[in-house]
Amino acid sequence: MDAESLDLLPPELDLALAWTPPMVRAALTTALQLDRRLARIAARTTEPMLGQMRLAWWREALGKPSGDRPRGDAVLDAVSAHWAGREAALIAMVDGWEVLVTAQALGPAEIAAFGSQRGAFFAALDHDRSSADEDRVAAAALHWALADAATAVSDPGERALLIETALARQSAGGRLSKSLRGLAVLDALALRALRRGGRPLMEGRGAPLAALRAAIFLT
């Protein structure tokens, strides 16, 4: 990927990637870069129809065989290189952002749908999971997706609902695999941020320690 064509990632994502094993790091980097593109579309959308059209471009491009996709976009080229055969997980991310773009009001159902679809790609990074582990992955991904969103919203009521919905989601148990060590880091930082009222994930001196503990113990 051409680094000059990619977004700078926030520090918590850089930290998560640093803890991610090399075998899945490129795929996770690509997914996170796509998420940043979609987040930018959502943030800049003032007319839902236009936002839907921009998201539809990504949905259509991801749904095509890699050889039929437009060339020259660093993120889309990376999808072809690192997500071949698994694009459905990235299309789910597009669907999640569309919920945010089209919702007239953010209620618990809309927030839960956004969070679960936005973070669905994490499950596609690891194929050696039990059913308990799958639930653990889904919960951790939703925590990150909603904690990150809570830092970006300006409406206190929406932020409170994002926090409430995220903290209400608990897993049935299980552990994250080593290939998802980066998700373990994001989950720990997300839960810490949510309990602090939706603060930035890397705020405070305790954030690096929380990330380190999660990376070591995969909790």
Would you give per-residue pLDDT tens digits along the chain (219 residues)?
344 478 899 999 999 999 999 999 999 999 999 999 999 999 999 999 999 999 999 999 999 999 999 999 999 999 999 999 999 999 999 999 999 999 988 899 999 999 999 999 999 998 666 555 889 999 999 999 999 999 999 899 999 999 999 999 998 777 889 999 999 999 999 999 999 999 999 999 999 999 999 999 876
> Which residues are CB-contacts of 103 (< 8 A; sequence separation ≥ 6)?
110
Phi/psi of residue 15, nearest 5 degrees:
-65, -40
State how far Cα 196 lies from the chain centre: 20
The pTM score is: 0.94
- 8 Å CB contact between 37 and 58: yes
CA distance 48 to 156: 22
CA distance 3 to 136: 32
